[in-house]
Structure 1
């Protein structure tokens, strides 16, 4: 599928920047596309720098903004923020070859919208769980390695998936093409809801999830997301130590043990706070709350389900985005009390 043809990485931030750098270092003809002119200029001038406990190197890489890229490509890996998906797909469509595919390497269920725009046969699904942060133009922090899986919309591992799996294993040998990507996508959505909740506080992820006082809120939130997934016909699967069954069991001690395991993982990571926290506290911009977590109530309601705890999370994040609620530990206490009444 690759035939040494150029590969577009559309969105060269935290996820896309890491993938682009590793594939280029392995000899693949990678081209980065990013909406930030400053980021593109820095990559053109100095290369893209990957730093952190996993690796530290700088990789030369051609880079363009969406309005300066030309040509058509068989493989476009999309890694923009979820709320920018539709705009990015409209921009990349003229550059997608007739037989080309868009592989989403994003958080959320964006592949559903991508398939509507490009056709399901030209859309592939991705699940990403490594930790990375955009630090400044041309510089990405790679905090720790994690799972990366790819799949078709429908079950089955196809030859094109196998070709992409082989390519992406040059980023990390554990990359896998899987038979049921939606089981992992929904597992990550449940896990992502937990990370969104940690971002209402100014504490680290580990400090937030390890506090016994807040365990009921995390447990109810994750359990609610898993309930929607099952109603939609998906049995979420775990990854990197996250076990959905711990939250679906209804056993408080089992859920507490899983939260402690998550806290221990982050205590040993260079990434102490979520990307959501960075959006709110550092980059002062809107988060992916509506595009990621907002999908949960949108899917639940036609199924006859209510999502009061998820709705509460969305409200809290909106209030912080709008400047109506400061980021502080007390938010977790208030959220826990409201979630238990929901």
Structure 2
């Protein structure tokens, strides 16, 4: 049986942990939130989807209590917590362990490569919604899928096993050799939608209903695509713009993680999303004024905390 450890047992980590559990993998949820850990261990993980409500018997522990060696670590911590989180389970990572980053933003491949051999780094994107509605309880009532691939090699044998398990467990997933384009596209999508939801304290449905937000979204998408193309990642704006429209309809009431963080008084990942796109644009001799404005505004929100 494959041992998979979900590092960061929040809304998304629990959603993926549930899928691996359904697929028959041995799942361990690792988090620093003791209330979350206790709720999962006492009542099981509650997963509310359109298919119904499940209570799954999955073990949850603090990092120091992660025993044995993981075959796969799926990383769902905040980008600025990557090094500390992986150092906290270093005893749980062996020479054969793979690490899959499904984190937001750009540059996660190199961050993970500081902790395992480069051929064992997998990266991906998830376009699935998930909300933490209470300790040990998540809700996911929208459509979406995942893409993943090795970050530095073309040997996709283990990545194929991961994709098969996710599909078996009810989360649509595919291998994508052009994973860099997928990661950039999601970062651009997030750079447009997440700060606007955060600054307005509204969800995607609100953004989709107003010309003002739609105009800003388009500007940010075009700036991000230009930055990606200038950095050697060829993508087009139309699919990303279509995704923002789909989000406003299918995920109309979903609170993105950036909004959840500000409401909870936590630091956001805006530096790894909007900030990273602005830095990439500058590196290529471009500017990204709309993206930079959203970045700076969210940093001001953080400064108020």
Quick one: structure 1 residues 259 and 40, their matched pair in 2 at CA, closer, same or farther if it must change by over 3 Å?
Answer: closer
Tell me which of 139, 154, 179 is aligned to 2:137.
Answer: 139
Which residue of the partner structure matches residue 171 of structure 1? 169
CA contact (8 A) 1:51 1:142 kept: yes
Question: Displacement, 1:305?
Answer: 2.3
Which residue of the partner structure matches residue 107 of structure 1? 104
Quick one: structure 1 residues 258 and 171, their matched pair in 2 at CA, closer, same or farther if it must change by over 3 Å?
Answer: closer
Question: Displacement, 1:173?
Answer: 5.8
Q: Structure 1: where are the runs of 5+ without partners?
A: 238-243, 248-254, 325-342
State how 1:43-82 maps to structure 2 within 5 Å.
Answer: 43-82=40-79
1:302 aligns with 2:283: yes
Q: Structure 2: where are the runs of 5+ without partners?
A: none
CA contact (8 A) 2:4 2:71 kept: yes
CA contact (8 A) 1:198 1:209 kept: no
SS at match of 1:70: coil
CA contact (8 A) 1:210 1:260 kept: no
SS at match of 1:149: strand
Quick one: structure 1 residues 122 and 156, their matched pair in 2 at CA, closer, same or farther if it must change by over 3 Å?
Answer: closer
Residues of 2 paired with 1:262 and 1:175: CA distance? Answer: 18
Question: Displacement, 1:42?
Answer: 1.1
Tell me which of 260, 263, 266 is aligned to 2:248.
Answer: 263
Residues of 2 paired with 1:215 and 1:299: CA distance? Answer: 24
Question: Displacement, 1:86?
Answer: 1.8
SS at match of 2:274: coil
TM-score between the two structures when normalised by the length of structure 1: 0.82
Larger radius of gyration: 1
Residues of 2 paired with 1:5 and 1:262: CA distance? Answer: 34
CA contact (8 A) 1:33 1:63 kept: yes
How many equivalent residue pairs? 303
Note the alpha carbon deviations across 1:4-43, whole angstroms, 9 max, x for none. 1321111111111011122223322111111111111111
Quick one: structure 1 residues 317 and 173, their matched pair in 2 at CA, closer, same or farther if it must change by over 3 Å?
Answer: closer
TM-score between the two structures when normalised by the length of structure 2: 0.91
**Please, what is the CA RMSD of the aligned residues?**
2.2
1:275 aligns with 2:275: no
SS at match of 2:151: coil
1:27 aligns with 2:24: yes
Which residue of the partner structure matches residue 271 of structure 2? 290
Residues of 2 paired with 1:55 and 1:85: CA distance? Answer: 33
